[in-house]
């Protein structure tokens, strides 16, 4: 390697899954149910005794990828589930749409699965949203599903009171795209932050306690890929450097390209357990995972030298970009 790593700093985006546990959505007042006042956050369904979230549903239906389902809600808060059959490697968009949904309805949207041999969807929330759609409706703009099978899309509501909602499930990319075309020249990736898994975060937190002058950070992203072939490492790196918190790396005149295996030797020893864990968490098993590495150093005054390294890791078949940064500073 052209330089030994003394570190890099990553801005941690505040992304995290809400707990998969919780009670039914909070009931609202009659005034809120009829008007457009702000509603409380709709939490995920409570974990049922049998460990299958489907047991918490008031109703279970089916919706196809590329299709929609419209239903009416009862007067009490609750959850409706919808079975969705998915190919391995599919990327989906799920939305409670303005079209077909009643005014002032407040919803939450959750995805579970895939269904196992015992018929359980489990209780792990794969994706969720509260108010990213129209008004107080919900939208998951992108979720990547490496495993095929049957998933359960769940719509939660607090102020149903006989209102209507429409759930739309669309293919956003991956294997569910029929007859995909090559990516346009100079294509740009749109990155969607994803939570770091509990195990990875625990390993990172442990390593960060070893030395006060060495700190590392980890961020993961999905990107929609409705094209044939694979995206490029340059496109992934450009999407990362476009974010303001990484602008200091744009002046590196000669970023390095390396294999994922080579990255391990550039990691401080206390962080090396993350190397196989990142690959196991995000890799498809057969893809060519590559890394583009940027370096910067600067001083904040006497005894204030900083060394920072940004590693952009592309998983082209899993549709993931993972950013691993290390930082070192004088003490």
- State pLDDT tens for residues 164-208: 999 999 999 999 999 999 999 989 999 999 889 999 999 999 999
Report the percentage of the chain scoring pLDDT > 90. Answer: 72
What's the pLDDT tens digit per position in 95-132?
Answer: 999 999 888 888 999 999 999 999 999 999 999 998 88
- Rounded to whole angstroms, the Cα distance separating 98 from 95 reads 9
Measure CA 245 to chain center.
19
User: What are the pLDDT digits (tens) for 280-328?
Assistant: 999 988 899 999 999 999 888 777 889 999 999 999 999 999 999 999 9
Tell me whether the CATH fold assigned to 30-172 matches the one assigned to 195-329: no
- Domain covering 195-329 assigned CATH 1.10.600 in the classification: no
Res 2 pLDDT > 80:
no
pLDDT confidence of residue 18: 33
Contact 324, 216 (CB under 8 A): yes
pLDDT at 39: 53
Mean pLDDT over residues 215-232, rounded?
96
Return the percentage of the chain with pLDDT > 70, whole number: 88
pLDDT band at 158 (very low <50, low <70, confident <90, very high): confident
- A 10 A CB-CB count for 246 gives 21
Q: What is the DSSP letter of 254?
A: S
- For the domain made up of 30-172, the CATH class stated in words is mainly beta
**Which segment of 2-11, 49-58, 61-70 scores lowest on mean pLDDT?**
2-11
Asked if residue 209 has pLDDT above 90, the reply is yes
- Give the pLDDT confidence of 72-84 residue by residue, as tens digits: 988 888 999 999 9
- Domains in the chain: boundaries: 30-172, 195-329
HEC states along 86-154?
ECCCEEEEEEECCCCCCCCCCEEEEEECCCCCCCCCCCCCCEEECCCCCCCCCEEEEEEECCCEEEEEE
Per-residue pLDDT reduced to its tens digit, 5-28: 333 333 333 333 333 334 444 433
Residue among 287, 286, 263 at smallest CA distance from 275: 263
What's the confidence (pLDDT) of residue 32? 37
pLDDT at 155 (0 to 100): 96
């Amino acid at each position: 390697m052209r330089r030994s790593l003394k570190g890099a700093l990553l801005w941690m985006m505040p992304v995290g899954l809400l707990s998969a546990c919780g009670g039914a959505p909070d009931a609202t007042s009659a005034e809120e149910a009829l008007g457009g006042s702000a509603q409380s956050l709709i939490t995920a369904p409570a974990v049922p005794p049998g460990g299958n979230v489907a047991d918490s549903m008031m109703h279970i239906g089916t919706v196809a990828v590329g299709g929609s389902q419209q239903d009416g809600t009862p007067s009490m808060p609750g959850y409706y589930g919808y079975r969705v059959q998915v190919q391995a490697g599919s990327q989906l968009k799920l939305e409670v749409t303005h079209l077909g949904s009643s005014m002032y309805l407040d919803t939450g949207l959750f995805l579970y699965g895939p269904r196992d041999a015992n018929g359980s969807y489990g209780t792990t929330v794969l994706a969720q949203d509260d108010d990213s759609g129209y008004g107080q409706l919900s939208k998951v703009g992108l979720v990547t599903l490496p495993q095929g099978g049957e998933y359960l899309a769940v719509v939660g509501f607090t102020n149903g009171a006989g209102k209507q909602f429409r759930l739309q499930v669309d293919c956003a990319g991956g294997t569910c795209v029929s007859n995909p075309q090559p990516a346009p020249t100079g294509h740009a990736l749109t990155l969607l932050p994803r939570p770091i898994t509990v195990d990875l975060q625990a390993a990172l937190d442990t390593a960060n306690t070893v030395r006060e002058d060495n700190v590392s950070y980890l961020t993961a992203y999905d990107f929609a890929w409705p094209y044939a072939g694979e995206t490029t490492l340059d496109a992934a790196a450009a999407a990362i450097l476009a974010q303001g918190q990484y602008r200091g790396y744009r002046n590196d005149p000669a970023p390095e390209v390396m294999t994922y295996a080579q990255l391990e030797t550039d990691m401080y020893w206390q962080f090396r357990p993350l190397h196989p864990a990142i690959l196991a968490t995000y890799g498809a098993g057969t893809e060519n995972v590559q890394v583009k590495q940027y370096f910067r150093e600067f001083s904040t005054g006497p005894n204030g030298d900083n060394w920072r390294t940004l590693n952009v890791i592309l998983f082209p078949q899993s549709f993931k970009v993972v950013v691993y940064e290390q930082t070192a500073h004088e003490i």
